[in-house]
């Protein structure tokens, strides 16, 4: 009976986190509260992060998993430090390497071009847009966005209450159940979520 409850609750949390990944939110640069463009941003591009969200019940605990980059760079409420990325720390240095030292292809530009296509960002020049995005990343960076917003927390709490109201789960205690919820990255690093319920 406990295992059934944890599986039902884990499935709901997984689906709610996936829904949040597709929910547009404001995103800002690392230079303070300067909005990134477009003004609303969802974290669903290729769908890799979305599809990586899953859960398992192990020894009476619910473990939620997702790709490492979701924890390290995208969502700012999963680590003690602020997520996001700012590779240039406000500076963009021109490439001063000699021509023979340069590579023919840039993995970052290739990834950015794929991202632009996946996000369906309107442009007639994908490569030019990728160069502009890379330059902006180095100059302004981007801050992480919250995953467990007050609305997500309310939804999770509401589902726990709904499940606990079912006759088959009578006697469970909400705090006991929420203490059993942990997020893991795909590399098995563990993070405390600190759900504010």
pLDDT at residue 69 in the model: 80
CB atoms within 10 A of CB 164: 16
Domain ranges of the chain: 1-28+39-84+144-197, 87-140
Tens of pLDDT along the chain (197 residues) come to 788 888 999 999 999 999 999 998 887 777 766 666 666 777 887 888 999 999 988 887 888 888 888 877 888 766 555 677 766 665 666 666 677 766 667 777 888 888 888 878 888 899 888 888 888 777 777 778 888 888 988 898 889 889 888 998 877 766 556 666 666 555 554 444 433 33
Model pTM score: 0.71
pLDDT at residue 191 in the model: 46
pLDDT at residue 42 in the model: 74
Residue keyed to tokens 């240039």:
88
Q: Are 49 and 73 in contact (CB under 8 A)?
A: no
CA separation, residue 66 to residues 38, 175, 189 (Å): 25, 24, 11
């Amino acid at each position: 009976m406990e295992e059934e409850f944890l599986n039902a609750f884990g499935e709901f949390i997984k689906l709610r986190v996936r829904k949040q990944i597709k929910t547009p939110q404001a995103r800002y640069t690392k230079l303070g509260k300067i909005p990134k463009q477009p003004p609303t941003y969802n974290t669903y591009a290729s769908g890799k992060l979305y599809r990586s969200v899953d859960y398992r019940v192990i020894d009476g605990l619910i473990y939620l998993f997702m790709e490492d980059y979701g924890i390290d760079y995208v969502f700012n409420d999963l680590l003690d430090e602020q997520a996001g990325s700012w590779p240039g720390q406000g500076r963009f240095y021109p490439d001063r390497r000699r021509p023979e030292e340069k590579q023919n292809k840039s993995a970052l530009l290739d990834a950015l071009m794929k991202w632009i296509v996946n996000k369906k960002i309107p442009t007639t020049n994908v490569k030019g847009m990728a160069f502009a995005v890379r330059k902006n990343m180095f100059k302004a960076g981007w801050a992480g966005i919250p995953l467990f917003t007050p609305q997500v927390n309310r939804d999770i709490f509401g589902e726990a209450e709904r499940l606990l109201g079912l006759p088959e789960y009578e006697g469970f205690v909400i705090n006991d159940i929420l203490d059993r919820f942990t997020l893991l990255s795909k590399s098995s690093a563990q993070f405390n979520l600190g759900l504010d319920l």
